[in-house]
């Protein structure tokens, strides 16, 4: 039995998908890495701001991790898994925005009991009157329909043959065009999340009265505004 477990190196196969993607889509891979790097810079500003509760500092880093995982699943041509992770990311992004509006909501957010569910639902909602939050809500709805609550795989033209216990099997891949669309949606979500969290943090940094941090953050904001819309250039 142990020999059959290691007959196929599934983990190495997944790693190869990432390498192949970076070789096939060099500029797109660089763009995705750049957006993730910008998002991580935002996380660093949250850590430096003393007016932000540590719960939010941890949460915003978790969103960053979710975005990375969602992109990896997309690159590995696993659209359902990519959207499932994206749904978690959009939900947590929404919650961060509400807690940044009112940090007293943190206690409600931390209450994960069934009795606190109604308060959480009432307190943590997307503000769809804001275009960028509406983008997060639309991505959340897409992810719920085709990620969390969907187990349908639309096969593409490509198939893989692998050996297992000295027998050949055919594994059907998902349609790559769907994964590309999902990767683009994830990149747009990263931009929207970064922009919205940047606006919320600006108010906190201003009230902190740290001139050096404020200057550095203002520079970051200007640089980010110049690259907004970069996700639209993916997979031309």
**In the prediction, which pLDDT does 1 show?**
37
**In the prediction, which pLDDT does 3 show?**
42
Helix (H, G, I), strand (E, B) or coil at 111: coil
**Confidence label for 236 from pLDDT (cuts 50, 70 and 90):** confident
Q: What mean pLDDT is reported for the chain?
A: 88
* CA dist., res. 159 & res. 175, Å (int): 10
Question: What are the pLDDT digits (tens) for 32-77?
Answer: 999 999 999 999 999 999 999 999 999 999 999 999 999 999 998 8
Question: What are the pLDDT digits (tens) for 101-155?
Answer: 999 999 999 998 888 889 999 999 999 999 999 999 999 999 998 766 666 666 6
Element (H, E) at 173: strand 167-174
* CA dist., res. 41 & res. 95, Å (int): 20
pTM of the full structure: 0.87
**In the prediction, which pLDDT does 160 show?**
64
Query: What is the Rg, in whole angstroms, of the alpha carbon atoms belonging to the chain?
Result: 20
The b/e string for 22-59 (b: 16+ C-beta within 10 A; e otherwise) is eeebeebbebbeebbebbeebbebbebbeebeeebeeb
Structure tokens at 46: 């949250």
Q: Which residues contact 185 (CB under 8 A, 6 or more apart)?
A: 86, 139, 142
The least confident of 54-58, 80-84, 173-177 is 173-177
């Amino acid at each position: 039995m142990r020999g059959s477990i290691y007959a196929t190196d599934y983990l190495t196969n997944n790693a190869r998908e990432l390498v192949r993607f970076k070789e096939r889509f060099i500029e797109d891979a660089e763009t995705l890495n750049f957006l993730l790097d910008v998002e991580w810079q935002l996380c660093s500003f949250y850590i430096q701001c003393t007016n932000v509760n540590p719960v939010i500092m941890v949460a915003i880093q978790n969103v960053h991790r979710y975005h990375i995982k969602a992109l990896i699943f997309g690159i590995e041509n696993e659209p359902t898994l990519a959207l499932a992770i994206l749904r978690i990311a959009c939900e947590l992004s929404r919650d961060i925005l509400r807690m940044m509006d009112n940090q007293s909501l943190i206690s409600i957010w931390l209450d994960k009991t069934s009795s606190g569910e109604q308060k959480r639902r009432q307190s943590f909602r997307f503000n769809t009157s804001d275009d960028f939050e509406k983008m997060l809500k639309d991505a959340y709805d897409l992810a719920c329909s085709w990620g969390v609550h969907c187990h349908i795989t639309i096969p593409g033209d490509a198939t893989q043959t692998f050996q297992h216990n000295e027998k050949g099997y055919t594994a059907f891949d998902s349609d790559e065009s769907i994964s590309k669309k999902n990767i683009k949606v994830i990149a747009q979500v990263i931009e929207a999340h970064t922009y919205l969290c940047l606006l919320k943090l600006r108010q906190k940094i201003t009230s902190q009265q740290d001139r050096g941090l404020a200057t550095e953050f203002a520079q970051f904001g200007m640089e980010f505004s110049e690259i907004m819309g970069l996700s639209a250039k993916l997979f031309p």
